[in-house]
Amino acid sequence: MEFATILFKTILLFVIFVITLLVAMYATWAERKVAAFIQDRRGPNRAGPMGLLQPLADGLKMFMKEEIIPMTANRVLFIMGPSIAMTTACLTGAIIPWGGNLTINNKIYSLQITDLNIGILYIFAMVSIGVYGIMIGGWASNNKYSLLGAIRAASQMISYELAMGLSIITLVLTTGTLSLSEIVDQQQGWHWNIFYHPLGFIIFLICAFAECNRSPFDLPECETELIGGYHTEYSSMKLGFYLFAEYINMFISAAVISTLYFGGYHMPFIHHLDLSPNVMTLIGSAFFFLKIFFFIFLFMWVRWTLPRFRFDQLMNLGWKRLLPLGIINMFITALIILLNEYL
């Protein structure tokens, strides 16, 4: 690789990292605003204009708080838990195509940090490792409530990953690739995958909610029945890491949903505008972020609409409804592809 490419990728890496953290930071603010608006309140409006400095204040509070590691806890694992959660959450951003190609000095740079040909599998792998963060955190606390919360989280994630995988298989059947950049390129104009896989999209969306531990599937954390779930024993910034990782996960899954089903950075009608390629790329990226923000809003919207599922309801929905639906969807898609080939 040339020096210029390495430099560009490094800068891109840094920018994406900062954007991820910023979006996650302001997602906490947005979450509170959305919650307030849906409940006819105003939300944070004291710290800065519109309460925009609220995330900074929250962060400062988290850093200033006393840090406690319980005496009976396994110190190494206890520290490892939030680190794994945070690291895996940040790693996923590397393979998402954030935009088209930029041309600088007659050289073409892609706005994707690395174009893995097994992109989707990489995401699945990272999300699965994310369970370890929660599980280890719950285990290392040496607390029955934390352990129960962690077990709930793990069982939930395992159950929903199956249905998620099935919905992805239908997508792979039609696109014929696992690389995210190719999947996006096939969706130019209005050829968004949502129109070809509506059922698959719904299954994927529901599973994404469950994978992010977002309401109505936020079983791992529960104030009433398990005191606080897997992070009961955590304090100060370790707790902050867990909560922050959740928001990063939300941002990444919103990005994945828009990439897989909503055409990623492709904007319909943009070719009629007659713009230079670089400007088009930037507008595309902005459009991509609009889609992401919409899905983040959807996450919050659902959170403040639905109550939390009971554990047996969650398992019923995952194993008895979504899994069969996913299989049926896969068979129908495969059948249509076969018929198309022979007829």
Partner 1 sequence: MEKLTGRSKVVSNKKLSFWESIYLPAIIGGMFITIKHFFRKKVTINVPEQTRKRSDVYRGMHVLKRDDEGRERCTACGLCALSCPAEAITMVAAERKPGEEHLYREEKYATIYEINMLRCIFCGDCEEACPKEAIFLTDRLVESEYKRKTFIYGKDLLVEPLEKDKRIDVSKRQTPEVLEFKKNKKLTHNK
Footprint of partner 1 (CB under 8 A): 34, 37-42, 45, 202, 301-302, 304-306, 316-317, 321, 325
Beta carbon of residue 167, minimum distance to partner 1 (angstroms, whole number): 14
Nearer to partner 1, 217 or 251 (CB): 217
Beta carbon of residue 300, minimum distance to partner 1 (angstroms, whole number): 10
- C-beta of residue 197 within 8 angstroms of C-beta of residue 261: yes
Query: Residue 296 corresponds to which amino acid?
Result: I
Beta carbon of residue 50, minimum distance to partner 1 (angstroms, whole number): 13
Residue 216 neighbours by CB under 8 Å, 6+ apart: 209, 302, 303, 306, 307, 308, 309
Nearer to partner 1, 307 or 341 (CB): 307
List the structure tokens of 27: 């997602």
Nearer to partner 1, 204 or 242 (CB): 204
Residue 28: phi and psi, rounded to 5, are: -65, -40
Beta carbon of residue 247, minimum distance to partner 1 (angstroms, whole number): 20
Question: Burial of 342 by CB count in 10 Å (0-12 exposed, 13-18 middle, 19+ buried)?
Answer: exposed
Q: Using the 8-state DSSP alphabet, how is residue 319 labeled?
A: I
Q: Using the 8-state DSSP alphabet, how is residue 261 labeled?
A: H
Beta carbon of residue 133, minimum distance to partner 1 (angstroms, whole number): 28
Beta carbon of residue 297, minimum distance to partner 1 (angstroms, whole number): 10
Nearer to partner 1, 35 or 282 (CB): 35
Nearer to partner 1, 40 or 223 (CB): 40
H helical segments located in the chain: 3-38, 54-64, 75-91, 119-140, 144-175, 180-185, 193-196, 198-211, 236-261, 277-303, 311-315, 323-342
Nearer to partner 1, 14 or 37 (CB): 37
Question: Burial of 132 by CB count in 10 Å (0-12 exposed, 13-18 middle, 19+ buried)?
Answer: middle
Beta carbon of residue 30, minimum distance to partner 1 (angstroms, whole number): 12
Cis preceding-peptide flag for 216 (omega within 30 of 0): yes
Nearer to partner 1, 53 or 227 (CB): 53
List the structure tokens of 294: 């919409």
Nearer to partner 1, 41 or 144 (CB): 41
Whole-angstrom distance, CA of residue 322 vs CA of residue 328: 10
Beta carbon of residue 123, minimum distance to partner 1 (angstroms, whole number): 25
